[in-house]
Structure 1
Amino acid sequence: MSHEPPVIGLVEDDPIMGESLAQRLGLEGMTVHWWRTGREAVAEIRKFRFEAIVCDIRLPDLDGEAVFREAAHVPRTPPFLFVTGHGDIDQAVRLMRSGAADYVTKPFEMEDFLARLTDLLMPHGTTEGGTLGVSPAIRQVEALLCRVARLSSNLLITGETGTGKDVAARFIHAQSRHATAPFIAVNCAAIPADLMESELFGHERGAFTGAAQRHLGYVERAGDGTLFLDEIGELRPELQAKLLRLIESKTFQRVGGEREIAFGGRIVTATNADLALRVVGRQFREDLLYRINAVSIRLPSLRERPEDIPWLMERFFTEYSAGTETSLKGISALAEEAALQHPWPGNVRELRNRMERAVALALGPWLMPGDLFPELVDKGAGTGVRIGSLESARQEAEKRHILRALAATGGELSAAARLLGVGRTTLWEKMRRLGLGSDG
């Protein structure tokens, strides 16, 4: 690994601000290229390899966005940290949608600026240690979630049922400035329509028959935290209007109340429905969709990220076997192979449920395909489900295990053999038999 100091590009026309940042970054051990104009930056960015670019929005010639778009054509485009004195959230969102990494508004605390820049310099392309998964698809989503967590704009999370929209919302909350405040999750489809307004906004004593005392709704309980509205497409029209008012005015009234109550939290919504289609069908307000969709993130289905299946299986196995009396030692290669062949219509939620049941009911010592998919055993061979031979399943499992070892060692055969506990010649021969090639 290289120990060369990181090279940072600085685009800043203000001589006092530019000199201050250049000096501080130098003291932090970074090599700084400071440009006073956007055109100078565009010309130099192509000549050197930079770890990050710190760029002012307002420049005397090209603006920062133009510099960013020019740099986007450079191979291995460095991440951009924008600096603006105007705090224009719409422009910040547009830049981050276009691929910018982060932004700070003037005046800013130097320690906060350095923390954000340092975060950009950290490697994010590793294959281990992810919070949501290890696949490239989910790591990209996780990086985007970290970026939008710092914003205060409303966020819409989309994806199929069971992809983990609630988990993503909690992840954003934990990374945000609202982290120490409450996280309140509301399933808009689970609460009866006639109770939803009272549950969401609360009610005053005597507001309706049976309202014996004041009730604080989800909005009020969220306070300065995060209000997560799942299945937002199921909200009925009159409540959509009240939610729009909450977003626009940052105030609300309890049912039966007259006093305006301030709301200082952030609203995150989620849906598995096509809200644009519902707008066309007059089932969802277009103006509300516009307001909740300031930033949108789509969660990929489990079919789109098969690399996460073994990782999630191990995670759920550890979770459900911890603290219980079980003879299970782990997950068999056959069970893993069966999981990789399953289409997972219920996504991560289905995998979690299957693993919980399998760990509870398996006889051990290894979790087997029949534990994970008992319906295939119950239905027998006449179901039309193709089940290969044990030998082919074993070979496929072996192949995947070898590929993971090679990926972990950068393709170095000797290191992979040591990781697998076999000799280099043995590994070479196995790879030849399995059709994996023998370069190394």
Structure 2
Amino acid sequence: MKRHDATKVWVIEDDPIMGQSLVDALELEDFAVELFEDGETALRAWAAGAAPDIVACDIRLPGSSGEEVYTALRSAGFAGPVLFMTAYGEIDQAVRLIRGGASDYVTKPFEMKLFLERLAGLAPQARGATPLGVSEAMLEIDDLIHRIADQDGPVLITGETGVGKEVAARRLHEVSRADKPFVAVNCAAIPAELLESELFGYERGAFTGASARHAGYAERARDGVLFLDEIAEMPLALQPKLLRLLEAKSFHRLGSEKATPFKARVVAATNRNVRHAAQAGQFREDLLYRLDMFAIDIPPLRERPDDVEWLLEELVGPASANARRAIRPLSALAIEAARSYSWPGNVRELRFKLERAVVFAQGPALMPADLFPPARIAPRAPSGPLANIRDAAERRAIDGALRDAGGEMQEAARLLGISRTTLWEKIRRLGSGE
């Protein structure tokens, strides 16, 4: 039985054997698939109210061509990804369609694995990007955030430095309490002797220098979100008071005997392994158990290269505006270099590298050397057979070069530093190209 939220794919293919093979392969990958042997039938289904998430369409069809079906669907309001299947001699037409807004294409005959990879890459686009990213991992985190949005229990967000923990916390605030305050506290940035008074506030005369009542972060959060970043750095002596805040839903300002109600939701974050810290006596286990009611672990950027490319495209415009430079597009080679880099500083490092590249780039487009000055590229460790990794990298580089060259083979070959004949041979072998 298919999940109710399975991605819906329309396959428009006039060869019944080929069409059924595609349907069988897609259903094994948990897609919900409908097969049409001509474009007119698909268009009638759309007019009747049926709607796919993704369309995989042959270019050469009986009656209306794939290009005509694509134009009709777009005119009728379909905005989802379209993957074209094309014969080798129709590549120029496929490139024109890509430049006109289609998503991707594969050249017949193709391996089913390649087709599935290309279509799976379009699934996040069909579901829509979130503020967290387009990778499957980040889409799943966004789904989790929505599932826990109407709850009141605390949330513990973990992940490496710069990975986007506060972004996830703000996403939770956005989908649950957007009209309420979001108060962020960096537990590592406030001196230990001041953290308690800053967190809970104090009364006038509570200590030397307390000349007036001061509302702390917990009070200012009201019924919104209190975000405690670097929670593992909170002093051990203060942790029992945070535990009481969570359990009693109240706190005392320094110098006051009157309890103040606490209605905010606590979201904590750390880049440390807080469980190991608890085992080492550096963090209270009872507080950990209370904070860990809902856990979100954000994977590092090196494990989600689709987000690398998405982030670059999202951030290059603002980076250019901040630098007062004309928007500099990213070359396909720069994107490929970025996808292969290990990103030890995660999203924070990516943003800094991009901002620097926009300032110092000399050419009209950002190149690998702009993002990564010489001798600074650190390739990510291979995650599969070397031949597969090499082929995937070549395929993406060819696709990007064709995109940068507007589909012109000679210019794409020049950008890649190879001959036109070599480029054709690689496209034929890899099933690549736009």
Q: 1:369 to 1:124 in 2, by over 3 A?
A: closer
Alignment of 1:228-267 (within 5 A): 228-267=227-266
**Structure 1 residue 395 displacement after superposition:** 9.4
Q: 1:433 to 1:385 in 2, by over 3 A?
A: closer
Within the candidate set 396, 399, 402, 2:395 is matched to: 399
Q: Please tell me whether residue 223 in structure 1 is matched to residue 222 in structure 2.
A: yes
**Counterpart in 2 of 1:69?**
none
**Counterpart in 2 of 1:114?**
none
SS state at 1:228 partner: strand
Q: Deviation string for 1:9-51 (max 9, x for gaps)?
A: xxxxxxxxxxxxxxxxxxxxxxxxxxxxxxxxxxxxx6xx573
SS state at 2:203 partner: coil
CA distance in 2, matches of 1:361, 1:436: 35
Alignment of 1:30-429 (within 5 A): 51=4, 126=126, 128-176=128-176, 178-322=177-321, 325-374=324-373, 376=375, 399-400=395-396, 421=407
SS state at 2:295 partner: strand
CA distance in 2, matches of 1:401, 1:127: 26
Q: 1:385 to 1:267 in 2, by over 3 A?
A: closer
CA distance in 2, matches of 1:207, 1:403: 66
**Structure 1 residue 327 displacement after superposition:** 4.2
Q: Deviation string for 1:40-79 (max 9, x for gaps)?
A: xxxxxx6xx5737xxxxxxxxxxxxxxxxxxxxx99699x
SS state at 1:51 partner: coil
Higher relative contact order (CA 8 A, sep 6+): 2
For 2:351, give the aligned amino acid: R
Q: 1:130 to 1:179 in 2, by over 3 A?
A: closer
CA distance in 1, matches of 2:189, 2:424: 52
Q: 1:215 to 1:370 in 2, by over 3 A?
A: same
Q: 1:332 to 1:218 in 2, by over 3 A?
A: same
Q: Deviation string for 1:240-262 (max 9, x for gaps)?
A: 00000000000001111111100
CA distance in 1, matches of 2:331, 2:216: 47
Within the candidate set 423, 426, 429, 1:433 is matched to: 426
CA distance in 2, matches of 1:237, 1:384: 38
8 Å Cα contact 1:328-1:367 kept in structure 2: no
CA distance in 2, matches of 1:247, 1:384: 43
8 Å Cα contact 1:127-1:135 kept in structure 2: no
**Structure 1 residue 131 displacement after superposition:** 2.2
CA distance in 1, matches of 2:3, 2:164: 35
For these two proteins, the number of residue pairs brought into alignment is 302
**Counterpart in 1 of 2:69?**
none
8 Å Cα contact 2:321-2:327 kept in structure 1: no
**Structure 1 residue 214 displacement after superposition:** 1.2
Structure 1, unaligned runs of 5 or more: 1-45, 53-73, 79-122, 378-382, 387-393, 406-415
CA RMSD of aligned residues (A): 3.6
**Structure 1 residue 322 displacement after superposition:** 2.8
**Structure 1 residue 130 displacement after superposition:** 2.9
CA distance in 2, matches of 1:422, 1:146: 44
CA distance in 2, matches of 1:367, 1:230: 34
SS state at 2:314 partner: helix
CA distance in 2, matches of 1:172, 1:358: 32
Between the aligned residues of both structures, percent identity stands at 49
**Structure 1 residue 175 displacement after superposition:** 0.3
8 Å Cα contact 1:428-1:438 kept in structure 2: no
Structure 2, unaligned runs of 5 or more: 6-27, 33-122, 381-389, 414-419
8 Å Cα contact 2:203-2:255 kept in structure 1: yes
**Counterpart in 2 of 1:68?**
none
**Structure 1 residue 353 displacement after superposition:** 1.1
For 1:267, give the aligned amino acid: V
TM (norm. structure 2) is: 0.62
**Counterpart in 1 of 2:100?**
none
CA distance in 1, matches of 2:378, 2:291: 44
8 Å Cα contact 2:159-2:165 kept in structure 1: yes
CA distance in 1, matches of 2:290, 2:31: 31
SS state at 2:227 partner: strand
CA distance in 2, matches of 1:314, 1:384: 21
Q: 1:238 to 1:150 in 2, by over 3 A?
A: same
SS state at 1:313 partner: helix
CA distance in 2, matches of 1:363, 1:428: 30
Q: Deviation string for 1:399-424 (max 9, x for gaps)?
A: 2166699xxxxxxxxxx99x97479x
CA distance in 2, matches of 1:224, 1:384: 45
**Counterpart in 1 of 2:42?**
none
